[in-house]
Amino acid sequence: MIKFSSVDIQKSKVETLVIPICEDKNIHADRTVAVLGKKALAVKEFQGKSKDELTLYNPARVKCERVLFFGLGKADAIEAETLRACMGRAIKTCIGRELTQVTVAVPAAKRLKLDEEAALEALIEGGCLANHMFSRYKSEEKKKPLKTIAFLGSPGSAAGNRRAAARIEKTCAAVTQAREWVSTPANDKRPDAFARQITKAARAKGLICRVLDEKALKREKFGAMLAVGQGSQVKPRLVVLEYRPKGAKKTVALVGKGVTFDTGGINLKTSSGLEGMKMDMAGAAAVAGTMLAVADLKPKMGVVGVLPLVENMPSGSATRPGDIVRSYAGKTVEIGNTDAEGRLILIDAMAWTVKKYKPAAMVDLATLTGACVIALGEKIAAVFSSDDELAEAILAAADKTYERCWRMPLPDDYKELLKSDLADISNMSSGRWGGAITAALFLSEFVGDTRWAHLDIAGAAYSKKDGPYCPAGGTGFGVRLLCDLLAHQKLL
């Protein structure tokens, strides 16, 4: 839990004090550090560089069991992300030492380039996101998240701080929920089970939930989505989550790819290709997580989250390469490669969403292509949109949350690569080059004239290594970005 504290550390006792401090250590600019005195920091090893750490036990002048200093690097280079990362390191250290509560001295923002509010928000965000671990599958887990993180010397009004903290805590809880879903093994989140987990969480938040099962999907003619799911013993589900505030006239739609495991199907992936494919539902996890946050944050417009959930398996009943199916929109699709399944479930989900909700804007998130990871690596997502304003709004949100995105083109003449000899369109382009682009172009054929953007999060959705405020596993990429986007009404 986040708290704000106004204790005088010279008079009242604080168990653990965390002090982020910059390289030049101008301690007089920072009251909390100043009370400790110059001598306290006269340690050669601690320069305040971005990796430096120093612990003092029972320091003179303050009533504190221990003070932990964390370097921030040079003052003029400090950004929101520096503060998130610093808090991440601090919380990890404190959890490692089995502490239960810490008090964080908010750095004097005058010395930073950031405004005070942004600095405090970044500290809270880094703290909340780092203070979480996924230990459901560990029989014995000694490490526990901290119970409280208190901020000392925070700027702004008490009410303003509390409001910001509540908003950030809720958003971060949605991020950690998305992370957990992505990290959950595929045997515990097959389409039926995953649909139940999502609707349970969504109902608890008061969202309107609907689940279309195989029978309903057949009735509604989700031909492309059903073709992907037909090789699995657990059949597809379409989960629809709705937030409908009173008086809202317009709706924004969020659609997330939910392949609970992607074997590639009959075009079976290689051993290394199969590794980690439990994360192929990260788009759905991000959208579901965002909807949970939306229920708390209450933006002005209506928001609908649409999650096509399938398991892509090879079997005697699986779709074959060369099969032709009729998609929800009515266009026939030749399935050139059963491993290009994401675009098949998305076109049905998006065409249905457009018809049913006529959204003012639609954004889809998907771990869609390996080609995207080749192009942008494992930390940056690709944004595709022919709507400049929408693309710019997404890039601005990405900049703020440091969920990095890079805009990619949707060249009309590349559509030629999607031609099929027999059907209206093929799900595999002729050749591997520009794979992220051809996948996005394929999607663009099914959204009509709806304002639409596609985020390929294939690289950013999962991390094999610990990050500064995100442990190895699902990253929850997209939740903070979408929450920021929805808060600014640029979509309408």
Which residues contact Zn ion (rule: CB under 5 A)? 259, 262, 280, 339, 341-342
Give whichever of 212 and 373 is closer to ligand BES, judged by the CB atom.
373
Residue 5 contact partner, candidates Zn ion, ligand BES, none, CB within 5 to 8 A by sort of partner = none
Backbone angles phi, psi at 284, to 5 degrees: -65, -40
Give whichever of 76 and 275 is closer to ligand BES, judged by the CB atom.
275
> Residue from 32, 232, 353, 367 that binds ligand BES (CB under 6 A)?
367
Q: Minimum distance from CB of 28 to ligand BES (Å)?
A: 50
| 339 is an interface residue for ligand BES by CB under 6 A | yes
C-alpha distances in Å from residue 120, one per residue of 2, 33, 282: 12, 17, 29
Give the span between the Cα atoms of 280 and 340, in whole angstroms. Answer: 12
Residue 359 contact partner, candidates ligand BES, Zn ion, none, CB within 5 to 8 A by sort of partner = none
Q: Minimum distance from CB of 242 to Zn ion (Å)?
A: 26
Give whichever of 268 and 396 is closer to ligand BES, judged by the CB atom.
268
| 456 is an interface residue for ligand BES by CB under 6 A | no
> Residue from 192, 242, 280, 445 that binds ligand BES (CB under 6 A)?
280
Contact 121, 164 (CB under 8 A): yes
Give me the residue label for tokens 């007089």: 28
Contact 198, 289 (CB under 8 A): no
| 224 is an interface residue for ligand BES by CB under 6 A | no
| 348 is an interface residue for ligand BES by CB under 6 A | no
Candidate segments 220-228, 333-341, 395-403, 475-483, binder of ligand BES by CB under 6 A:
333-341
Give whichever of 242 and 341 is closer to Zn ion, judged by the CB atom.
341
Contact 480, 129 (CB under 8 A): no
Give whichever of 344 and 447 is closer to ligand BES, judged by the CB atom.
344
Give whichever of 40 and 306 is closer to Zn ion, judged by the CB atom.
306
Q: How far is CA 60 from the centre of its chain?
A: 43
> Residue from 337, 396, 448, 467 that binds ligand BES (CB under 6 A)?
337
What does the longest C-alpha to C-alpha distance in the chain come to? 81
Give the span between the Cα atoms of 181 and 278, in whole angstroms. Answer: 10
Count other Cβ atoms within 10 Å, centred on residue 302.
Answer: 20
| 342 is an interface residue for ligand BES by CB under 6 A | yes
Give whichever of 26 and 337 is closer to ligand BES, judged by the CB atom.
337
Backbone angles phi, psi at 283, to 5 degrees: -65, -45
Return the residues of window 398-437 that contact ligand BES according to CB under 6 A. 428, 435
Return the residues of window 67-86 that contact ligand BES according to CB under 6 A. none
Q: Is 269 a catalytic residue?
A: yes
Q: Going residue by residue from 369 to 388, which x/- string records binding to ligand BES, judged by CB under 6 A?
A: xxx-x---------------
Candidate segments 43-51, 182-190, 338-346, 410-418, binder of ligand BES by CB under 6 A:
338-346
Q: Minimum distance from CB of 336 to ligand BES (Å)?
A: 8
> Residue from 238, 344, 458, 485 that binds ligand BES (CB under 6 A)?
458
> Residue from 214, 242, 311, 341 that binds ligand BES (CB under 6 A)?
341
Residue 426 contact partner, candidates ligand BES, Zn ion, none, CB within 5 to 8 A by sort of partner = none
Give whichever of 283 and 302 is closer to ligand BES, judged by the CB atom.
283
Residue 369 contact partner, candidates Zn ion, ligand BES, none, CB within 5 to 8 A by sort of partner = ligand BES
Give the CB-nearest residue to ligand BES: 370
Catalytic residue among 250, 269, 331, 407: 269
Q: Minimum distance from CB of 312 to ligand BES (Å)?
A: 7
Q: Is 465 a catalytic residue?
A: no
Q: Minimum distance from CB of 163 to ligand BES (Å)?
A: 37
Candidate segments 41-49, 68-76, 300-308, 365-373, binder of ligand BES by CB under 6 A:
365-373
Query: What is the contact surface with ligand BES in residues (CB under 6 A)?
Result: 262, 280, 337, 339-342, 367, 369-371, 373, 428, 435, 458
User: Catalytic residue numbers?
Assistant: 269, 343
